[in-house]
């Protein structure tokens, strides 16, 4: 509790996120929380638990499973759902599976579109959710910096960056027409360091992959890829080796670069980040496809 | 602020050396200035100087600078901020971008907003949550119309601390006289704007003078640099000292033994055993517990999101405001407010919008637009409507009373938005000034004979039969036949017809959208009075807009019967009983429904009459039959 009197910054961010989460539950018929298993989702889930205590959050968790997540992520996901006692929905794009889409064979761009963007749209349509929480933060990317906390989506799940509703004070316009939906980002105003400091202050469990450990990796175009299972074919000249690495961001393992690091505790992670010269998205291969790639993906319905 | 000491710094207490900025909340900064004043460059440069730009972002920036940059081979810092593709291509910022940065001393949230006149709404959006505004001025150009505009919007939205950044000092040779001339003119202009502090700083955003460190090129300047000023700025925790306000967001009821009220404390502090009152109902109780997942709290302050339980079982729902019993918010259904129009559809006085104020959502209409405010001069002009980006002062009426404080006293409980009921867009942002006393002092008179008694003596149930449709659809003909039959059946009726009403009650109104809305509102009020008399009221009006017909339905719940006289336009044109279509199509009549003004057909009318397929006689009988089915006859 002591941190709340010293870190007013985090206290405000926590209250703002709780306010947003409650507002969604009060005004939408069928909300869902997109749970991507990463640190931001962990913090967001924790805030949801706080928002409705002593009740459970009155919505399910949804994980869009590309089938290429790190194995430790999936086991952490299932443990977490059991720990918090919330319903966990998992959706995988059956068309993508049938077509054999994979980040290895199809490339990051196709894989992301089919197994993430399209899969998410399928899931939202299947369960008829009218609001979906996401853990995105505005400091992640330039196009995110302009997205609203309550971000309107057409019936086709498209985002129109030129036609966003103005968002004033803490009064959110939650009105939508039938078939439309809202993506809601309670962590909009958090930065990466805020998330880690909050995780430390509140002792929130996160996937162990964030902490340094010797792991089997291959180096590919300057990026360290962890060999999480036998689906990653080694290219000529590549050799798997053990390195002391950790992940700053988590996604599909063949698309997620590890960083060489000895940071094995939250304190060490935070210290390392304060000294870092690189942004967290550097480890994400999918963002480098082309300039403004994130804005394009988001218009199509990516989270 | 005086010309001898241009750097008159903050008069607030917290800038003392002993206070640790880490203890302060993130400072929310709004940057504003005219096009090319260098806003984005200023923020980009501050990030760069504080090593807050990561290497991968810098290499992307160097790439982008070659493609889109405007400063030759140098790095164009503005590109760090201009996020959306369209903006980068046009070289302008078109929306609000939020930037986050921290120094070892403090965290900052920067809202970067456009300078163009047409984007007032975005600036107001950025200003609504800001603690301090950085107003940029080009040293060569001095104060411009845009500077006045931005300063006034900032003041309207209640920002009380301003940093006047006189930029491009390098281009005027760091001339002290230029700086002091601008700062003294600004001080004179800003007097009526109610700022608590104005901190002028001479800078060069491009070269970094007086940004993160004092510049050697302005030895005459004795104030702090930009970053030092921002780091030490304490805008105070004024909200803690205001009376307690707690808008109830959600009622938490996991089981029968727990009933908690969730919300964020808008102002004041609360402790267990404190008395509270429910603003609208006036009922009071005591706080029992302040519940959080970390255990119960001994005290909670403004800005905290908590769950309160009360000692008594009161009827409290989302939208109620819990308040200090000795200092309660006002409760009213009519008030005066400033509004900033944010929709491309203009404001229509009389039209029903949704007002969202805190967690309260109620139908609301602008009853009177007092004036439009010129936000470059504060001059007031008469106006009938407000267009996108215009600011006005108006009277509003809500369908049920809401609890509020004047915006000047409390930003959280005095602010609202208006939502268009059909497009769902945010049509306006508003700031309440005061309750209209006339509403508070005119109480409903207690009358002995009631509406139902008046109706009973006539052996009937009052109703409003509302005939809507295009001109020439056959509304008046059918309404006339229906009334004749009702009369023959012994019913007490009255028929209000569009043309007849426009000769009398509404002869001051024309056919613009705004006048059509007012026309229908007045007729609705008259029809309602007549149902009070126990009458069956037949109304025959084109009434082209769904919004107004919906308003009528809400004015007379259960009594409003919408009859859509559904005649295709080509049939109406062919009939043309008054020769009006001919003249409208020839351009001799403006604003003619179906010709140059839209008709919004009812989506779910109570009765639909297809006059192209049946005679007026049959249509009239169908109305009578429907009234029988509904047991109104």
Residue B6 has pLDDT above 90, yes or no: no
User: Could you tell me whether strands B107-112 and B132-138 are parallel, antiparallel, or unpaired per DSSP bridges?
Assistant: unpaired
Query: B118 pLDDT band (50/70/90 cuts)?
Result: low
The residue ranking higher by pLDDT, B442 or B148, is B148
Interface of B with A in 355-374 (CB under 8 A): 356-359
Residue B64 has pLDDT above 90, yes or no: no
* Dist CA B594 CA B578 (whole Å): 15
In this structure, is residue B579 part of a structural domain?
yes
Q: How far does the CA of residue A159 sit from the closest CA of chain B (Å)?
A: 13
Average pLDDT over residues A253-271: 92
The residue ranking higher by pLDDT, B321 or B94, is B321
* Dist CA B56 CA B76 (whole Å): 16
User: Could you tell me whether strands B300-301 and B161-167 are parallel, antiparallel, or unpaired per DSSP bridges?
Assistant: unpaired
* Crossing angle of the two packed helices A192-202 and A8-27, in degrees rounded to 10: 90
What percentage of chain B has pLDDT greater than the value 70?
86
- Mark whether B316 and B344 lie in a shared domain: no
Question: Which of A206, A285, A286 lies closest to A246, judged by CA?
Answer: A206
Smallest CA–CA distance from A8 into chain B, residue: B25
Last residue of a domain, one of B386, B404, B435: B435
* Dist CA A66 CA A49 (whole Å): 26
Write out chain A residues lying below 8 Å of B252, CB-based: 52, 54-55
Average pLDDT over residues A267-292: 65
ipTM of the complex: 0.90
Write out chain B residues lying below 8 Å of A19, CB-based: 249, 264, 305
- Mark whether B225 and B284 lie in a shared domain: no
- Mark whether B423 and B520 lie in a shared domain: no
Residue B220 has pLDDT above 70, yes or no: yes
Write out chain B residues lying below 8 Å of A131, CB-based: none
In this structure, is residue B444 part of a structural domain?
no
**Phi then psi for B29, rounded to 5 degrees?**
-115, 135
Best of A9, A163, A193 to substitute, by most chain B Cβ atoms within 10 angstroms, is A9
Query: B18 pLDDT band (50/70/90 cuts)?
Result: very low
In this structure, is residue B243 part of a structural domain?
yes
Least confident segment among A3-17, A277-291, B196-210, B561-575: A277-291
In this structure, is residue B611 part of a structural domain?
yes
> What pLDDT does A298 receive?
65
What CATH number does the domain containing B549 carry?
3.40.50.300
| Cα four-point dihedral sign B80, B85, B87, B90 | positive
Question: Which of A149, A77, A271, A134 lies closest to B128, judged by CA?
Answer: A149
**Cβ(A284)–Cβ(A249) under 8 Å?**
yes
SS3 sequence of chain A: CHHHHHCHHHHHHHHHHHHHHHHHHHHCCCEEEECCCCHHHHHHHHHHHHHHCCCCCCCCEEEECCCCECHHHHHHHHHHHHHHCCCEEEECCHHHHHCCCCHHHHHHHHHHHHHHHHHHHHHHHHHCCCEEECCCCHHHCCCHHHCCCEEEECCCCCCCHHHCCCCECCECCCCCCCCCEEEECCCCCCCHHHHHHHHHHHCCCCCHHHCCEEEEEEEECCEEEECCCCCCCCCCCCCCEEEEEECCCCCEHHHEEEEECCCCCHHHHHHHHHCCCCCHHHHEHHHHCCCCHHHHHHHHCCC
- Nearest CB partner across the interface for A54, out of B99, B254, B424: B254
Average pLDDT over residues B344-360: 92
- Mark whether B383 and B529 lie in a shared domain: no
Residue B445 has pLDDT above 70, yes or no: no
Query: A183 pLDDT band (50/70/90 cuts)?
Result: very high
- Nearest CB partner across the interface for B424, out of A19, A26, A175: A175
Average pLDDT over residues B27-55: 75
Write out chain B residues lying below 8 Å of A194, CB-based: 107
> What pLDDT does B495 receive?
93
Q: What is the pLDDT of residues A113-168, one digit of tens each?
A: 999 999 999 999 999 999 999 999 988 876 677 789 999 998 888 888 777 888 99
Smallest CA–CA distance from B95 into chain A, residue: A146
Least confident segment among A212-221, B291-300, B307-316, B442-451: B442-451
Residue B346 has pLDDT above 90, yes or no: yes
* Dist CA A72 CA A234 (whole Å): 21
Interchain pair B54, A19: CB under 8 A? no
**Cβ(A255)–Cβ(A108) under 8 Å?**
yes
- Mark whether B338 and B296 lie in a shared domain: no
Q: What is the pLDDT of residues A10-23, one digit of tens each?
A: 999 999 999 999 99
Average pLDDT over residues A248-259: 91
Interchain pair B84, A139: CB under 8 A? no
Using the 8-state DSSP alphabet, how is residue B243 labeled? P
Average pLDDT over residues B523-529: 91
> What pLDDT does B100 receive?
81
In angstroms, how far is CA A7 from the centroid of its own chain? 25
Question: Which of B418, B415, B396 lies closest to B405, judged by CA?
Answer: B415
The residue ranking higher by pLDDT, B149 or A146, is B149
Query: A175 pLDDT band (50/70/90 cuts)?
Result: very high
Smallest CA–CA distance from A46 into chain B, residue: B293
Using the 8-state DSSP alphabet, how is residue B556 labeled? S
In this structure, is residue B6 part of a structural domain?
no
Residue B152 has pLDDT above 80, yes or no: yes
In angstroms, how far is CA B263 from the centroid of its own chain? 21
**Cβ(B285)–Cβ(B314) under 8 Å?**
yes
Best of B62, B250, B431 to substitute, by most chain A Cβ atoms within 10 angstroms, is B250
**Tokens at B625, concatenated:** 């039959």
> What pLDDT does A202 receive?
95
What is chain B's percent helix, strand, coil content, to nearest 5? 30, 25, 45
Q: Is B240 an interface residue toward A (CB < 8 Å)?
A: no
- Structural domain boundaries, residue B297: 239-323
Question: Which of B22, B407, B14 lies closest to B235, judged by CA?
Answer: B14
Residue B238 has pLDDT above 90, yes or no: no
- Mark whether B53 and B186 lie in a shared domain: yes
User: Could you tell me whether strands A257-260 and A223-226 are parallel, antiparallel, or unpaired per DSSP bridges?
Assistant: antiparallel
Interchain pair A168, B254: CB under 8 A? no
Helices and strands, counts by H and E, chain B? 18, 27
Residue A2 has pLDDT above 80, yes or no: no
- Nearest CB partner across the interface for B294, out of A1, A12, A56: A1
- Mark whether B63 and B110 lie in a shared domain: yes
> What pLDDT does B20 receive?
57
In this structure, is residue B1 part of a structural domain?
no
> Which residues of B participate in catalysis according to the annotation?
543
Residue B91 has pLDDT above 50, yes or no: no
Query: B13 pLDDT band (50/70/90 cuts)?
Result: very low
Residue B79 has pLDDT above 80, yes or no: no
> What pLDDT does A280 receive?
58
In this structure, is residue B5 part of a structural domain?
no
Q: Compute the mean pLDDT over every residue in chain A, rounded to the nearest whole number.
A: 88
- Residue at token pair 């601008």: B182
Last residue of a domain, one of B323, B343, B365: B323
Q: How far does the CA of residue B330 sit from the closest CA of chain A (Å)?
A: 19
> What pLDDT does B94 receive?
55
In this structure, is residue B7 part of a structural domain?
no
- Mark whether B305 and B361 lie in a shared domain: no
**CB-defined contacts A:B, below 8 A:** 168
Smallest CA–CA distance from A161 into chain B, residue: B84
> What pLDDT does B503 receive?
83
Question: Which of B139, B157, B229 lies closest to B193, judged by CA?
Answer: B157
Q: Is A8 an interface residue toward B (CB < 8 Å)?
A: yes
- Mark whether B173 and B244 lie in a shared domain: no
Q: Is B59 an interface residue toward A (CB < 8 Å)?
A: no
What is the domain count for chain B? Answer: 4
Q: How far does the CA of residue A92 sit from the closest CA of chain B (Å)?
A: 31
Write out chain A residues lying below 8 Å of B356, CB-based: 171, 173
Interface of B with A in 261-280 (CB under 8 A): 262-264
- Mark whether B230 and B89 lie in a shared domain: yes
What percentage of chain A has pLDDT greater than the value 70?
90
Residue B412 has pLDDT above 60, yes or no: yes
Residue A268 contacts by C-beta under 8 Å, 6 or more apart in sequence? A212, A262
> What pLDDT does A297 receive?
65
- Nearest CB partner across the interface for A9, out of B107, B318, B419: B107
Using the 8-state DSSP alphabet, how is residue B267 labeled? B
Q: How far does the CA of residue A105 sit from the closest CA of chain B (Å)?
A: 27
Q: Compute the mean pLDDT over every residue in chain B, rounded to the nearest whole number.
A: 85
* Dist CA B7 CA B132 (whole Å): 16
**Tokens at B98, concatenated:** 């939020």
Q: Is B73 an interface residue toward A (CB < 8 Å)?
A: no
Residue B222 contacts by C-beta under 8 Å, 6 or more apart in sequence? B5, B7
Residue B89 has pLDDT above 70, yes or no: no
Q: Is A52 an interface residue toward B (CB < 8 Å)?
A: yes
Query: B93 pLDDT band (50/70/90 cuts)?
Result: very low
Q: What is the pLDDT of residues B471-494, one digit of tens each?
A: 999 999 999 999 999 998 889 999
> What pLDDT does A220 receive?
86
Write out chain A residues lying below 8 Å of B82, CB-based: 142
What percentage of chain B has pLDDT greater than the value 90?
53
> What pLDDT does A289 receive?
46
**Phi then psi for B468, rounded to 5 degrees?**
-120, 150
Least confident segment among B310-324, B329-343, B530-544, B577-591: B577-591
> What pLDDT does A239 receive?
87
Last residue of a domain, one of B175, B204, B235: B235
What CATH number does the domain containing B370 carry?
2.40.30.10
Interface of B with A in 418-477 (CB under 8 A): 419, 424-426, 429
**Phi then psi for B493, rounded to 5 degrees?**
-130, 170
- Mark whether B294 and B354 lie in a shared domain: no
- Mark whether B395 and B465 lie in a shared domain: no
The residue ranking higher by pLDDT, B172 or B5, is B172
Best of B24, B258, B305, B402 to substitute, by most chain A Cβ atoms within 10 angstroms, is B305
Interchain pair A175, B419: CB under 8 A? yes
> What pLDDT does B10 receive?
30
Best of A16, A169, A175, A280 to substitute, by most chain B Cβ atoms within 10 angstroms, is A169
| Cα four-point dihedral sign B340, B344, B349, B355 | negative
Average pLDDT over residues A93-110: 90
Write out chain B residues lying below 8 Å of A175, CB-based: 354, 419, 424
């Amino acid at each position: 509790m002591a941190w709340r009197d010293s870190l007013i910054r985090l206290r405000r961010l926590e209250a703002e996120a709780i306010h947003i989460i409650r507002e969604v539950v009060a005004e939408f018929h069928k909300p869902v929380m997109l749970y991507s298993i990463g640190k931001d989702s962990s913090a967001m889930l924790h805030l949801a638990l706080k928002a409705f205590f002593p009740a459970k959050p009155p919505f399910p968790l949804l994980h869009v499973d590309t089938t290429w997540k790190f194995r430790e992520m999936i086991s952490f996901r299932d443990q977490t759902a059991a720990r918090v006692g919330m319903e966990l929905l998992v959706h995988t794009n059956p068309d993508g599976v049938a077509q054999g889409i994979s980040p290895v064979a199809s490339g990051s761009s196709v894989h992301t579109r089919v197994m993430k963007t399209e899969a998410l749209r399928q899931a939202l349509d299947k369960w008829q959710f009218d609001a979906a929480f996401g853990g995105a933060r505005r400091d992640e990317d330039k196009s995110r910096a302009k997205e609203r906390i309550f971000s309107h989506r057409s019936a086709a799940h498209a985002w129109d960056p030129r036609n966003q509703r103005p968002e004033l004070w803490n009064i959110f316009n939650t009105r939508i027409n039938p078939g439309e939906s809202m993506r809601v980002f309670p962590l909009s105003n958090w930065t990466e360091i805020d998330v880690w400091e909050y995780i430390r202050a509140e002792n929130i469990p996160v996937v162990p992959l964030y902490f340094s450990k010797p792991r089997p990796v291959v180096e590919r175009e300057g990026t360290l890829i962890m060999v999480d299972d036998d689906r990653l074919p080694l290219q000529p000249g590549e050799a798997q080796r053990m390195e002391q690495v950790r992940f700053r961001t988590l996604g599909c393992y063949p698309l997620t670069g590890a960083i060489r690091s000895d940071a094995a505790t939250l304190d060490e992670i935070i210290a390392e980040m304060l000294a870092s010269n690189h942004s967290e998205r550097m480890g994400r291969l999918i963002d480098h496809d082309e300039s403004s790639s994130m804005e394009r993906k988001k218009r199509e319905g990516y989270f | 602020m005086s010309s001898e000491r241009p750097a008159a710094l903050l008069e607030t207490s917290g800038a003392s050396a002993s206070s640790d900025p880490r203890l302060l909340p993130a400072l929310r900064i709004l940057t504003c200035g005219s096009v090319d004043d260098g806003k984005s460059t200023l923020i980009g440069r501050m990030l760069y100087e504080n090593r807050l730009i990561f290497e991968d972002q810098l290499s992307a920036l160097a790439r982008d600078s070659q493609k889109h940059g405007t400063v030759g081979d140098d790095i164009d810092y503005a590109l760090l901020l201009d996020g959306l593709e369209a903006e980068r291509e046009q070289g302008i910022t078109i929306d609000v971008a939020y930037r986050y940065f921290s120094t070892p001393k403090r965290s900052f949230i920067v809202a970067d907003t456009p300078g163009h006149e047409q984007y007032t709404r975005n600036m107001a959006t950025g200003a609504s949550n800001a603690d301090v505004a950085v107003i940029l001025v080009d040293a060569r150009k001095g104060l411009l119309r845009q500077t006045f505009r931005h300063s006034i919007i900032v003041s309207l939205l209640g920002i009380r601390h301003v940093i006047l950044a006189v930029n491009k000092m390098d281009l005027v040779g760091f001339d002290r006289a230029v700086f002091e001339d601008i700062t003294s003119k600004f001080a004179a202009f800003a007097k009526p704007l109610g700022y608590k502090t104005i901190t002028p700083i001479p800078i060069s955003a491009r070269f970094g003078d007086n940004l993160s460190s004092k510049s050697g090129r302005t030895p005459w300047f004795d104030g702090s640099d930009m970053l030092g000023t921002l780091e030490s700025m304490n805008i105070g925790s004024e909200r803690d000292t205001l009376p307690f306000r707690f808008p109830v967001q959600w009622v938490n009821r996991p089981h029968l033994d727990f009933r908690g009220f969730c919300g964020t404390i808008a102002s004041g502090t609360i402790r267990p055993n404190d008395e509270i009152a429910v603003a609208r109902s006036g009922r009071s109780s005591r706080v029992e517990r302040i519940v959080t997942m970390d255990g119960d709290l001994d005290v909670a302050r403004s800005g905290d999101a908590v769950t309160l339980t009360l000692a008594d079982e009161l009827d409290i729902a989302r939208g109620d405001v819990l308040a200090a019993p000795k200092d309660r918010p006002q409760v009213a259904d009519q008030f005066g407010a400033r509004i900033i129009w944010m929709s491309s559809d203009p404001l229509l006085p009389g039209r029903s919008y949704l007002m969202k104020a805190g967690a309260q959502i109620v139908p609301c209409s602008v009853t009177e637009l007092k004036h439009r405010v010129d936000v470059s001069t504060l001059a007031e002009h008469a106006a009938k409507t407000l267009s996108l980006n215009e600011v006005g002062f108006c009277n509003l009426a809500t369908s049920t009373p809401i609890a509020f404080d004047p915006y000047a006293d409390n930003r959280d409980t005095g602010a609202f938005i208006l939502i268009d009921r059909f497009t769902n867009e945010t049509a306006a942002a508003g700031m309440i000034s005061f309750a209209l006393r006339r509403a508070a002092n005119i109480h409903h008179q207690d009358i002995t004979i009631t509406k139902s008694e008046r109706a009973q003596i006539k052996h009937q149930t009052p109703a409003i039969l509302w005939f809507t449709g295009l001109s020439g659809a056959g509304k008046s003909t059918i309404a006339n036949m229906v009334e004749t039959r009702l009369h023959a059946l012994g019913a007490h009726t009255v028929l209000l017809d569009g043309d007849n009403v426009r000769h009398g009650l509404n002869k001051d109104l024309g056919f613009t959208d705004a006048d059509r809305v007012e026309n229908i509102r007045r007729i609705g009020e008259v029809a309602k009075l007549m149902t009070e008399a126990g009458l069956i009221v037949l109304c025959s009006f084109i009434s082209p807009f769904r919004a107004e017909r919906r308003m009528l339905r809400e004015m007379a719940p259960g009594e409003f019967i919408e009859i859509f006289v559904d005649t295709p336009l080509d049939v109406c044109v062919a009939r043309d009983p008054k020769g009006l279509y001919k003249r409208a199509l020839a351009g001799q009549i403006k604003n003619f429904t179906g010709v140059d003004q839209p008709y919004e057909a009812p989506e779910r009318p109570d009765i639909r009459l297809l006059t192209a397929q049946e005679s007026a006689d049959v249509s009239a009988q169908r109305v009578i039959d429907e009234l029988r089915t509904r047991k109104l006859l």
